[in-house]
Amino acid sequence: MDGFAVQAERTFGAGPDSPITLRIGREAWPVNTGRPMPPATDAVVIIENVNFQDDENFEIEQGVVPWQNVRRVGEDFVASEMILPGHHHITAYEMGALLAGGVLSVEVKEKPRVLLIPTGSELVAPEILVHGEPEPGKIVEYNTVILAGIVEAAGGIPVRHSIVQDQFEVVKQTILEGVRSDAHLIVINAGSSAGSEDFTAAAIRELGEVFVHGVAMMPGKPTILGMVEGKPVMGNPGFPVSAVLSFEVFGVPVLETMLGVSQDRRPSIVAHTARKVTSKLGREEFFRVKLGKVGERVVAAPLPRGAGSITTLTRADGIIRIPASSEGIEQAAAVSVELLRPAPQIERTVVIIGSHDLTLDVLADELIPYNVFLSSSHVGSLGGLMALKSRSAHLATSHLLDLETGVYNWSYIRKYIPDIPVKLFRGVTREQGFIVRKGNPKGITTFEDLLRDDVTFINRQAGAGTRVLLDYHLDRASLDPSGIKGYRMEEYTHTSVAVAVLSGVADAGMGVLSAARALGLDFIPVATEEYDLVIPEEYLADQKILTLLDVMRGASFKSRVMALGGYGVDRTGDELSEPAS
């Protein structure tokens, strides 16, 4: 402690009535916390108990006993005690413990180097594109960028090879050079399926041995595991999600073994599925899910399965593994979920299920500084109300028009979730219309035009508010939906409808302006509708829901929504009362 080092014996007997005077430099020496004790001293009088008489003397009214206020050598640890066990990841704290123990250097495991070889004549490396766009027909190679990040996180050193043409001899030669380099693990990305690029397995077989070609997991099936000249060589599928999962399941454990650690698997929590999930027998299926805590239960909403959708990984909060022996999971079943995000974040996530709108992205973005996260699943307005019924969501987004009264949402709420006390809040008003190709080449401007022979339509799924709106207008105009070519072709979001139009699958779809504008398509407005939030009263005391409503009412959210075009925010965040029936 800070104060004066003394011989304890010299202080015995000191008291308020019998102070003892000590002479600085002769009987007492100034010391500070952390300093070694001067010779022949064995206790410290702390500075607070010192009454200075002059520059050379001070008085004390309380004695000290030997070793009082002194940290003895070895209080923390002594020679031969183990500071850290082996196979231990050295963090900041451990660096301190080693230095405190006088250990200035330690032997550590060599970080394994992983050579990541992208193959594919159509690929172009992102580095050379920083100031431009890829040529037509070229695709930016990013799988090895993701894999490199995973290698680093697992404690390895990633080495990204330049892009290799998919020619057998080139692939084979590259593998051989890789094996003879200082790399410890060689990964060939893509070229592992059954097409013309399938040189990987053949090349490994010619150079060494293939142990496994094809695994019972999905995504990730076309994984190849082999060995060349004593080094592990892995063929990794081409679709990004397949590439990631295959490497996490088969590549990362190789690194863990090389590092001599059994790294900790992701923590798991128990969650309940928001909907039924089917899975094929005979393969382990990896579902990416969004998570949120609704009431006392954590709810898992499955994301799309597509192995090409890297966003199913970036958007995912966790992964559910459905074993090869299972055909799927019932709705609301309890399942184990491997967490991709910290559990506390899940607790701060608002689960939105219902109708899709681009403003939800803006809302998610605006909420993050408040430490609130959004998980939104797009299943249409009716699906949202059903999710409230099954307690799978904190709130539903809905724009369901009553065909008789022209009032939005209330009649559906009373019909489908009569037992759940809810309040309705205004989200936005928005223009709905026909999304058509640039310049409207087919001249589609009325609902009648949709029945023309030369017009193919792309519809939204049953239960979507946009589909209800379409049916409302068809009904008012006495038009028969069965006369519309493509009426049965369904997409689940506004943007998917716009993509169908852009790619020529359809000539027209119904959706919002922002979706059309985003893809440079034209938009023929037909109606303004109300897009609202249905919130069970029990969640209205929840701070994160209150924050969400506050943010929606704020100027920042509203101005960003207005900039998207086609929206109105006059009453955004206001509670809406039910009209007298």
Which tokens sit at 111? 């970080």
**What residues between 338 and 357 interact with a copy of itself by CB under 8 A?**
342-345
Whether the bond between 481 and the residue before it is cis, its omega within 30 degrees of 0, is: no
270 is a site residue for a copy of itself (CB under 8 A): no
Task: Look up tokens 């209205």; give the residue.
Answer: 540
CB closer to a copy of itself, 362 vs 417: 362
DSSP string, 452-480: STT--EEEEPTT-HHHHHHHHHHHHTT--
Tokens representing 567 are 């929206």
Number of residues counted as binding a copy of itself (CB under 8 A):
115
Closer to a copy of itself by Cβ: residue 135 or 404: 135
Distance CA(341)–CA(347), nearest Å, equals 11
Which region, judged by CB under 8 A, interacts with a copy of itself, from 12-20, 106-114, 194-202, 273-281?
194-202
The answer to the question of residue 308 lying near a copy of itself (CB under 8 A) is yes
DSSP structural state of residue 94: H
Residues 55 to 84 in contact with a copy of itself, rule: CB under 8 A: 66-67, 71-84
Can you read off the two tokens belonging to residue 230? 């004593």
Nearest distance from C-beta of residue 472 to a copy of itself, angstroms: 27
Give the nearer residue to a copy of itself in terms of CB position, either 32 or 331.
32
Pairing of strands 157-160, 113-118: parallel
| 8 Å CB contact between 307 and 235 | no
Which residues in the 164-183 window bind a copy of itself by CB under 8 A?
A: 166
Stretch that binds a copy of itself, among 211-219, 304-312, 421-429, 445-453 (CB under 8 A): 304-312
Q: Which of residues 91-110 bind a copy of itself (CB under 8 A)?
A: 91-97, 99-100, 102, 104-105
148 forms part of the interface with a copy of itself (CB under 8 A): yes
Half-sphere exposure of 369 (CA within 13 A, CB side): 6
Q: Does 555 bind a copy of itself (CB under 8 A)?
A: no
The yes or no reply on residue 25 touching a copy of itself (CB under 8 A) is no
26 binds a copy of itself (CB under 8 A): no
475-504 mask for a copy of itself (x: CB under 8 A)?
--------------------xx-xxx-xx-
Per CB under 8 A, which of residues 398..437 are in contact with a copy of itself?
Answer: none
Question: d(Cα 336, Cα 524) in Å, to the nearest integer?
Answer: 47
Tell me how far, at minimum, the Cβ of 305 lies from a copy of itself, in Å: 11
311 is a contact residue toward a copy of itself (CB under 8 A): yes
Kind of pairing, strands 422-436 and 522-536?
antiparallel
Tell me which H or E stretch contains 385. Answer: helix 381-389
Closest contact distance (angstroms) between CB of 476 and a copy of itself is 31
**Nearest-approach distance from CB 473 to a copy of itself, in angstroms:** 26
H/E run at residue 535: strand 522-536
Structure tokens at 162: 């330049």
Q: According to CB under 8 A, which one of 249, 310, 332, 420 is a site residue for a copy of itself?
A: 310
What is the Cα–Cα distance from 44 to 32, expressed in whole angstroms?
10
Cβ at position 56, least distance to a copy of itself in Å? 16
Taking the least distance from each CB to a copy of itself, the nearer of 313 and 407 is 313
Residue 324 and residue 284 in contact, taking contact as beta carbons nearer than 8 Å: yes
User: For residue 449, what is the DSSP state?
Assistant: G
Asked if residue 39 binds a copy of itself (CB under 8 A), the reply is: no
**352-391 positions binding a copy of itself, by CB under 8 A:** 358, 361-362, 364-365, 368-369, 371
Interface with a copy of itself includes 265 (CB under 8 A)? yes
Q: Closest approach of Cβ 479 to a copy of itself, in Å?
A: 26
CB of 418 to a copy of itself, least distance (A): 36
Pure H helices in 232-341: 240-246, 252-259, 311-314
Q: How far is the CB of 35 from a copy of itself (least distance, A)?
A: 5
**Binding residue (CB under 8 A) for a copy of itself from 18, 25, 55, 136:** 136
Cβ-based nearer residue to a copy of itself, 369 or 406: 369
> Is position 197 an interface residue for a copy of itself (rule: CB under 8 A)?
yes
Output the smallest distance, CB 25 to a copy of itself, in A.
14
- Residue 310 or 407: the one with the smaller Cβ distance to a copy of itself is 310
Q: Which of 16, 25, 137, 406 binds a copy of itself (CB under 8 A)?
A: 137
Nearest residue to 397 (alpha-carbon basis) of 152, 572, 190, 214:
572
* Using rule CB under 8 A, residue 47 touches a copy of itself: yes
Task: Point out which residues pair with 337 in neighbouring strands.
Answer: 269
Residue type, 246: S
Using alpha carbons, select from 60, 77, 48 the residue that is nearest to residue 21: 60
Determine contact, residues 392/353, Cβ cutoff 8 Å.
Answer: yes
The least CB distance from residue 217 to a copy of itself, in Å, is: 17
Tokens 């943010």 — which residue? 551
What is the Cα gyration radius of the chain? 34
Helix axes 543-553, 359-367, angle to 10 degrees: 120
CB closer to a copy of itself out of 382 and 521 = 521
> Where in 437-466 is the site for a copy of itself (CB under 8 A)?
none
d(CA 204, CA 224): 9
- SS3 assignment, position 571: coil
**Residue 516 contacts residue 523 (beta carbons within 8 Å):** yes
For a copy of itself, the closer of residues 55 and 570 by Cβ is 55
